[in-house]
Amino acid sequence: MRVLAIGDVHGCLYQLDDLLDWVKPTAEDLVITLGDYVDRGPDSRGVLDRLVGLKKQGPKLICLRGNHEIMMLAARAGTRADRSMWLSVGGVQTLGSYGPAPGKSGALADVPEEHWAFLDYNLLDYYETDQHIFVHAGVACGIDMAEQPEHALYWDFLGEAMRHHSGKTVVCGHTSQKSGEVKVVPGAVCVDTYAHGGGWLTCLDAPTGKFWQVNQLGKKRDGRIEYKED
């Protein structure tokens, strides 16, 4: 069984589809998406449609919550300031994907209830296996996972090391690697490789270190990382 972690998609449906077509997850594989499905890229609606469909009929899929999902939900339920904040960090592109026609923007009211339900009820804060912790942003290293603060899970950026006291390796996104290269530090690996900004969308088989990447031009590359323990 492979344990496949996919980095921040940010509305890049074509890259997500290319990646899944290449990696070909099976019923024996576990697929973990690390959050930030919406905003910045061109087709947040399409990405959510794809994930909702995969949850129903595809491989075993664990979807984590990212800070952009949190901001989108806050824009719906919160103040005008919450909405303005979300629009300034990619919400404009998300609403564009819900428009009634090309070039026409949508509104929060155009987001289907199935998508709101997915964002509200189908996303996890983190996921653990025997060897790994999967999370959107990171962890507070000396704190048990059940007690993690929200800023660590969703907002903090990866530094030069992240060794959780459990001894498990952290697999995260959020800290965009504009180089397009997977970042490996002692105790952690980051697979947000800037898919929406001209980089690559990455899938990592966490136990083996094997990775696959696709970009907006349809190019592909793969390789293998070496984890750092000190």
Q: pLDDT for 10-24, tens place per residue?
A: 999 999 999 999 999
What does the pLDDT read at residue 124?
A: 98
CA–CA dist 159, 173 (Å, integer): 12
What does the pLDDT read at residue 156?
A: 97
Of the pLDDT bands very low, low, confident and very high (cuts 50, 70, 90), residue 104 is confident
What is the layout of strands, in order, in the sheet containing 169-172?
A: 126-128, 132-135, 169-172, 188-190, 183-185
CB-count exposure of residue 74 (10 Å: 0-12, 13-18, 19+): middle
Give tens-digit pLDDT for 179-223.
999 999 999 999 999 999 999 999 999 999 999 999 999 999 999
Q: Residue type at 201?
A: L
What does the pLDDT read at residue 214?
A: 98
**157: which DSSP letter?**
P
Give tens-digit pLDDT for 43-76.
999 999 999 999 988 669 999 999 999 999 999 9
CA–CA dist 227, 90 (Å, integer): 32
Percent of the chain with pLDDT over 90: 94
What does the pLDDT read at residue 150?
A: 98
Superfamily name with CATH number, domain 3-224 = Metallo-dependent phosphatases (3.60.21.10)
Give tens-digit pLDDT for 112-152.
999 999 999 999 999 999 999 999 999 999 999 999 999 99
What does the pLDDT read at residue 5?
A: 98
Is 38 a residue whose pLDDT tops 90?
yes
Of the pLDDT bands very low, low, confident and very high (cuts 50, 70, 90), residue 230 is low
What does the pLDDT read at residue 229?
A: 75
